[in-house]
Amino acid sequence: MTAIDSLDHLNTLGVRATADRVATAATEDGLRRIVLEANDSGQPLLVLGAGSNVVLGRHVRGIVCLMRMRGLSVEPLGRDKFAVTAAAGEGWHALVRYCLGRGLFGLENLALIPGSVGAAPLQNIGAYGVEIADRLVGLKAMDATSGEIREFDRAACRFGYRDSLFKSSEAGRYVIVEVTLRLSTRPQPVIDYPDVRVELVRLGCASPTPVQIAEAVIRVRRRKLPDPRRVGNVGSFFKNPMVSAEQVERLRGEIADLVVHEMPETPGQVRAGGPGQFKLSAAQLIDRAGWKGARRAKVGVWPRQPLVLVNLDGACGADFLTLGQEIRAAVLARFGVTLELEPRVLGDR
């Protein structure tokens, strides 16, 4: 076993893991060589960006490809609209800062989300009322069976809540290589979430600019969430559950201040469960089930945000999955709501 096989420092959860082989893709041709090698040898292929949304087992079979493709460009679309294209290996927060620095707005609510650009459409990242699906024009991806490049428009990506074609029905089939977003020089602030509004008041921003909204989001995230460079975590370990109106009414009988968001109809997005869906706060359910701040040997629940599980002392992926299952069982027993894991689970336990 050589040092390059180690994945210890390639996942923000901070778990120890190894791979049969680790390769780096810095160019499209380099990625194609890795893809075709995996095909020719019959080995599984796993692409990692920043490793910020995965739970790794002790060993990952096959080739782990580190996505390191770089590049940013801006093209006018007419009037106040611009297309920003970013290579998959760019850092997501760095892209947000790049756009804000050039007066291009629309990503400010997604500031400080860890991870790479290529992983962002995979799970349709979102925060504080904005998802990448709201801004995406299209993307390019490499077919992992042939090495061919295919273009996807927004509709073809089949976005859903923390989901997409690339995470569900075609998981593993395509490797995203670049993403194009539609942004504007005309601010359209989204400040509906209470945490953001409260922070803007603290900052004294009555009519906030996009830069001030980004600053408020960053402050909220830093206050509530642990820094993965210091405390191993993948951010939200669970998705906010989607339920029916009937379930909402039932739960209001148990939780007087139940947090509920009605999911609007959004063109181009897949609505799991059909119309009339409502999003609950998984954090609130976990908290009311008594798990906020809980500890289990090497893993724990972050006391400021119960959606986040943290690595306390040399935990492995299985430790997180065990704790996650305990929490899911407790929420189901108490409230009749099933929580789903948000990160991908990869490798042998």
Pick the catalytic residue from 236, 281, 288, 328: 236
Q: Is 342 labeled as catalytic in the residue annotation?
A: yes
Pick the catalytic residue from 32, 135, 154, 162: 162
CA–CA distance, 325 with 347 (Å, rounded to integer): 18
- Structure tokens belonging to residue 262: 């009605």
Helix 210-224 and helix 92-101: axis angle, to 10°?
A: 150
Q: Is 162 labeled as catalytic in the residue annotation?
A: yes
Q: Which of 236, 237, 243, 239 is nearest to 335 (CA)?
A: 243
The residues assigned a catalytic role are 162, 236, 342
